[in-house]
Amino acid sequence: MQQPTIIENADTSAIANWIKARLVAALGAGDGPISITIPGGSTPFPILEELARSDLDWQRIIVWPGDDRVVPEDHAASNTGRIRAALEPVGAKVVALGTMEQVPHFALAWLGMGADGHIASLFPNTDPQVDDTQKIRSLTPDPLPPEAPFDRITLTIPALLDSDALMFVIRGDDKRAVFDAAAAGQNTLPVARLLGAAEQSVTCFV
């Protein structure tokens, strides 16, 4: 387990610049495309909008949602649709999660976390395992979050761990307390299982 590097009071620009530096390094390491995974929800999109204004070689960047709600892409709750709107105009390729997709190694796995310790759509009731034999799963949170009461499709812990680096953006003291406890091995929530198995660098912006 790697102890996370905690970066406090980081604003949107600072986070976007950090991500850009990681992607520039990954793109510079070879000539082919790189893949990243990013979360849905409200927090990432101001960061993505700033990142989209940077001079990255977007045509070599393949973007995977970490999870999505099982809704049409033009639905307001679709992570994939919102990510497409943010990044496809600058040249990125955005992948729609499907159970038959071949999940790549990620240059960066960017995650959020819920107050219940869920990551992607790996909620506590789904009992996610670090040795899951599948990279993508369809599942149903229980209870269904009232703000997004939909079935889900999600990357699994092994898919997220198949990455060069993990990063989190976490907002709020309640979530910070859950994350800190998970990093200290004080619970077995999904985020704790991921952190406990992580061997790559983990950076958390709070």
pLDDT value of residue 41 = 84
Tell me which residue of 125, 135, 117 sits closest to 194, measured CA to CA. Answer: 117
> What's residue 100's pLDDT?
78
Task: Please give the model's pTM, rounded to 2 decimal places.
Answer: 0.95
CA 80 – CA 6 distance, rounded (Å):
28
Virtual CA dihedral for 184, 186, 189, 194, nearest 10 degrees?
30
Domain boundaries, the chain: 5-205
Q: What is the pLDDT of residues 113-154, one digit of tens each?
A: 999 999 999 999 999 999 999 999 999 998 888 888 999 999
Residue 2 has pLDDT above 80, yes or no: no
From the options 2.60.40.1120, 3.40.50.1360, 3.30.470.30, 1.20.210.10, give the CATH code of 5-205: 3.40.50.1360
pLDDT at 101: 82
